[in-house]
């Protein structure tokens, strides 16, 4: 189980799918807007050990470093 899972942008998840995420992480953060920069993505990820994203953002190598 993950300690913290973060969706860095809006996801098209059904309400039941959102509830299911809590089975995989102690803390789940579902952010509702699209990050405007790599720095914002880094801030949103913070100390999370799992990240979800949609088609509007990219996780570049420098973000994951």
Q: What is the pLDDT of residues 4-22, one digit of tens each?
A: 999 999 999 999 999 999 9
State if pTM tops 0.85: yes
Domain count, the chain: 1
Cβ 35 vs Cβ 63: under 8 Å: no
DSSP-assigned beta bridge partners for residue 29: 6
Residue-wise pLDDT tens digits, 25-43: 999 999 999 999 999 999 9
Q: Give the domain extent around 34.
A: 2-64
Residue 7 exposed, middle or buried by CB count within 10 Å (0-12, 13-18, 19+):
buried
Q: Residues 35, 58: contact at Cβ < 8 Å? A: no
In sequence order, what DSSP letters do the residues of 36-56 get, joined into one string? -SHHHHHHHHTT-SEEE--TT
């Amino acid at each position: 189980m993950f300690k913290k899972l973060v969706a860095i942008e809006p996801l098209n998840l059904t309400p039941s799918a959102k509830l299911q995420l809590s089975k995989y992480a102690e803390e789940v953060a579902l952010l509702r807007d699209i990050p405007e920069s790599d720095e914002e993505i880094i801030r949103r990820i913070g100390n999370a050990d799992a990240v979800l994203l949609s088609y509007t953002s990219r996780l570049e190598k420098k973000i994951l470093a």
